[in-house]
A and B are shown apart, each in its own frame.
Chain A
Amino acid sequence: MSTTATAAAPATISFTDSYRLALDEALATDPTVLLLGEDIADEEGGGVFKVTKGLSTKYGKHRVRTTPIAEEAIVGAAVGAALAGMRPVAEIMLMNFVTVAMDQIVNHAAKLRFMSGGQTHVPITIRTRTGAGGGTGGQHSDMLEAWFAHVAGMKVVIPSSPADAVGLMLSCIFDDDPCLFIEDSMTRAQTGPMPPPNHRLPLGKANIVRSGTDVSVISYGRPIRDSLAIAERLAGEGISVEIVDLRTISPLDTETVLKSVAKTRRAVVVHEAPRSFGVGAEVAARIQEHLYGDLAAPVLRIASRDVPVPFAKVLEQEFLYKPSAIEGAIRQTLNAKGRRG
């Protein structure tokens, strides 16, 4: 049988379509899955970012439910429905708006399992979107993942590819704990390979997206692609970079991080969120706590600046972490005057 005539390019999917694919599969699989959010039904356009387009027509407006602009009521309704055995997915349009629902997330969703002695639990997924670079300024762009990772009981997930997005989102929805699933605003149209059917990725497990021996870049979300491009380029110079995609910020897969750094003895942690008190600080701390004597260089952090996200393009770019800085940090760890291996 000839394949030449039908050899299509490998199937690809965009981030936006990957989110929809996961939601579609979840709704089709389990009648307790329920979507709540502003504008998400088709009458309202299927969501501001069109992620839920077509889903209310397919599954009904009662299950793909447009809500008032009332984030605390949205998340609270998700919490209550989850306590009663549903698997609600709440869409909060942008991450800065999640702050409006902080009480429901921090005091209730995250803690009810513990405070009830395990009698109740809150299997909700909060989908939200954020990221700087689109000129949306100080209240539409923040990466606040560290806030939520700081609260025991929450799971915080950020995918770096469309296929991962499908596998991680489905795992969030069918997980029995509250999950915050963070989508990147800037890369939503980017594509990647189509995931296999019934794709699930474990929560709390990092992924080695590129193996290497000289230095570990530990990151998640958007900077993973930057790091892959840099690693590819540096390979030409004989520098072997290993890239660890955390996938889940909390619970953090310390084991995979330490295993990588134990091998490379050098680590650069990269994230889009501001540098101070961020995930990078936590990862760096865990590395030095376990591997201090084995490190060939200080653990470095590359992150965005500790300022509000500015509007003017030049300032916004000045705010954001820079791929060139990732490369610079990698070289710096290799040139460090530490113990040589």
Chain B
Amino acid sequence: MTSPTEPLAPQVLLAIYRKALLIQLVDERMRSLLSSGRMAAVYYSPRGQEILAAAMAVHLQPTDYLVTTYRGVHDQLAKGIPLRLLFAEYYGKAAGACKGKGGPMHITYPAGGIMVTTGVVGAGMPIANGLALASQLRGDGRVTLCNFGDGASNIGAFHESLNMASLWQLPVIFLCQNNGYGECTKYEKATSVAHVAERAASYDMRGVTVDGNDPQAMWHAAREAVEYARAGNGPTLLEAKTFRFMGHYFGDPGAYIPKEEYAAALARDPMPPCRAAVLRTQAATEAQLAQIQQEIVADIDDAFKFATESSPPELSEIDRDIYAEGVSA
């Protein structure tokens, strides 16, 4: 683990908390809509993984590339997906991020660098290399952030990609969000090493394990990885340890998680201590935080209203975007 001792500047802490709060509130709304039957969508909650996504994203520019997975709404929100586009896509509407044709597992927003959201474990890593290769060839100074879970570290694409990225010194950050479970299987039962980041050594790559729930540690580790890539030094495999509070999929009863383990993880929910730190460092007052929360909730209300009131795609959309010419075979 890195041991960053330098405390975060209050405004940095607040920036992280603001993004994390947005993630938490959007996630709460999504789950509320799903459980009340007001939304029908596949959903993979990021509850518990807010801080690591936020503390990473504050280092990124809108032009930096993001590749993420089906459990990626926190990454997308941290990177700046507009709420209206997000909600309308979840509702399968024409005004959604992908015109209702991709859905929650394929959120794309190139204007904010969100290039690929994949529903296939491990598949984003080879693509992230390609985005980074384009940046390297052009010298455009962009970095590519590639998110995936601990489960993805056991699939072939992970190993092929790390080898290639290291070989070519690509400006990419492989952020493994190790939430302790790959689908319903405990990390230790599926992975041969104690820490995913140890695997970086096999590829002569920088490998770092950090407490992803600690904003200070995560912010420092993320900064190092981003600066390292942007300076042309190559990739980092950054493993952020965290926990997934809502199971694999929405409605997952989570019976495979021992009760004591779950209780201990919940006691380490990263959101309350981050909020406490914001207040303690006087980054914001209670009143200011209430104001921020009110603004976010208003934005979510607006996005929800926009999504539910907007139109589904025209049926003719089914034949568009197959090929450039817009015709199907």
Contact = CB atoms under 8 A, between A and B. Distances in A.
A98 to B, nearest CB: 14
B255 interface: no
B134 A152 contact: no
B157 A76 contact: yes
B13 interface: no
Interface of A: 34, 62-63, 67-68, 70, 72-73, 75-86, 88, 103-104, 107-108, 112-121, 152-153, 155, 175-177, 204, 250-252
Interface in B51-105: 65, 67, 96-103
A181 to B, nearest CB: 16
Nearest to B172: A80
A83 B110 CA distance: 9
B190 interface: no
Given A84-B135, A114-B322, A177-B323, A76 B167 contact: no
Nearest to B134: A84
B248 interface: no
Contacts of B323: 113, 153, 155, 177, 251
Given A117-B97, A152-B322, 17 more contacts: A34-B133, A70-B164, A73-B160, A73-B163, A77-B164, A82-B130, A114-B321, A117-B98, A117-B99, A117-B101, A118-B321, A120-B116, A121-B324, A152-B328, A250-B329, A251-B323, A251-B329
Contacts of A82: 130
A219 to B, nearest CB: 18
Interface of B: 65, 67, 96-103, 106, 108-110, 115-116, 118-120, 123, 125-135, 137, 144, 156-157, 160-161, 163-164, 167, 320-324, 327-329
A121 B108 CA distance: 11
Interface of B is mostly: mixed
A70 to B, nearest CB: 4
B131 A118 contact: no
Nearest to B146: A80
Contacts of B160: 68, 70, 72-73, 76
A117 B127 contact: no
Contact of B163 (A62, A68, A155): A68
B120 A115 contact: no
A62 to B, nearest CB: 6
Contacts of A79: 126-127, 130
Given A73-B129, A86-B134, A177-B324, A120 B115 contact: yes
